[in-house]
Copies of this chain bind each other. A is one copy, B any other.
């Protein structure tokens, strides 16, 4: 592991758009456990509040609100919505997300009877689509390969995973690496520029294939770093 010169992110509040899905809830749970103020976003305030309550974390600072409120009130905003509707949601949140670090962790995947596969994306990747829409935000891609099952499992104290963080803004990727490091067991590593996000998103299809073959919750660790 290289010497760390990453910023201190311990005081930052995190918003999670689409935080009622398993991936969003899992991230919310781990960040709340790490002491962050977490806002779960949804189209429905009621469903967001229910998701926050369902985590059952006594003493943690997790609450729910509609996506627009979450976007406006959080220091860093994580996009964990389904690929379907991704662009439209971000278009509707351009203003509250302006100036902020926005972390896209969406995987554009299709599924058929042979398993998962990568969907074509006009902009190249979900992250590049986010960057094209959110021209006033600092878009970073990360958290694509986290297993919702492991994040939500109270028996899993540490998550055995490297999170690749991609982006063209060094300060923003450093911040998100530091954020990834807040999840016990996880290591945030720089993974390249945003133009190389597509294969990181699509690789989730391979992890799903691996999970099927080996009955696992696969992730990866980068070697020699």
Q: Is the CB of B222 within 8 A of A220?
A: yes
Encode A181-225 as 1/0 by CB contact (under 8 A) with B. Answer: 000000001111101101110110110111001101111111111
Partner of A223, one of B190, B193, B196, B220: B220
Q: Is the CB of B221 within 8 A of A209?
A: no
Q: Does A85 contact B (CB under 8 A)?
A: no
Task: Choose, from A35-43, A113-121, A130-138, the stretch at the interface.
Answer: A113-121
Copies of this chain in its oligomeric complex: 2
Interface residues in A87-105 by Cβ distance below 8 A to B read none
Identity of the chain B residue whose Cβ is nearest the Cβ of A203 in the assembled complex = B199
Q: A16 to nearest B CB, angstroms? A: 24
Number of interface residues of A (CB under 8 A): 40
Q: Does A160 contact B (CB under 8 A)?
A: yes
Identity of the chain B residue whose Cβ is nearest the Cβ of A173 in the assembled complex = B213
Q: A2 to nearest B CB, angstroms? A: 5
Identity of the chain B residue whose Cβ is nearest the Cβ of A209 in the assembled complex = B192
Q: A114 to nearest B CB, angstroms? A: 6
Can you pick out 11 interface pairs between chain A and chain B where the beta carbons lie within 8 Å of each other? A117-B193, A190-B213, A191-B209, A191-B210, A198-B202, A199-B200, A199-B205, A210-B225, A219-B223, A220-B220, A221-B223
Additional A-B contact list (16), CB under 8 Å, known A2-B214, A196-B206, A216-B225: A166-B206, A190-B213, A193-B209, A196-B202, A199-B202, A199-B205, A200-B203, A202-B202, A210-B222, A210-B225, A214-B225, A216-B222, A218-B224, A219-B223, A220-B223, A221-B223
